[in-house]
Amino acid sequence: MYALALLFLFVLSLLVEWLSHSLLTNLKLGANHVAAGIAQTAMHGVRIGLAYLVMLAVMSFNVGIFLVAVAGHTLGFFPFRSRTFKNLQPLPSGKTYSTDLPPMNC
């Protein structure tokens, strides 16, 4: 059961990273702004709820849970946010984008 809980928390951390950096939060449902706003609000609620669920698991003060949550967030950052899979175009000034890390927000 402990290994299953660790696996679940790892997948949950990956899911939180994916939802935080996916284009699902930028839904555009045609001209219906109310439906788009409701969909964005629902996605935000799901993302925040899952993030708080990970936080509650970490607050159990179990080192294994903590390490798996950090590993899930870290591994989720790699494909969803890092420069590895992005095609960065140079700016008109000749420099490339300098946003390596996202702003810290919980």
Q: Please, what's the largest Cα pairwise distance for the chain? A: 55
Q: Phi then psi for 82, rounded to 5 degrees?
A: -70, 170
102 within some domain: no
- CA distance linking residue 76 with residue 1, whole number of Å: 24
104 within some domain: no
Model confidence pLDDT, tens digit, residues 86-98: 665 555 655 555 4
- CA distance linking residue 105 with residue 27, whole number of Å: 21
97 within some domain: no
Residue 64 clears pLDDT 90, i.e. is over it: yes
102 pLDDT band (50/70/90 cuts)?
A: low
15 within some domain: yes
35 within some domain: yes
105 within some domain: no
pTM value is: 0.71
106 within some domain: no
Query: What is the tally of structural domains in the chain?
Result: 1
% the chain with pLDDT above 90: 44
Q: Residue 36's pLDDT is what?
A: 78
Instruction: For residue 51, give every residue at least 6 positions away whose Cβ sits within 8 Å of its Cβ, in sequence order, or none.
Output: 16, 20, 106
- Taking the alpha carbons of 100, 8, 53, 61 in that order, is the dihedral positive or negative? negative
Count CB atoms within 10 A of the CB of residue 49. 10
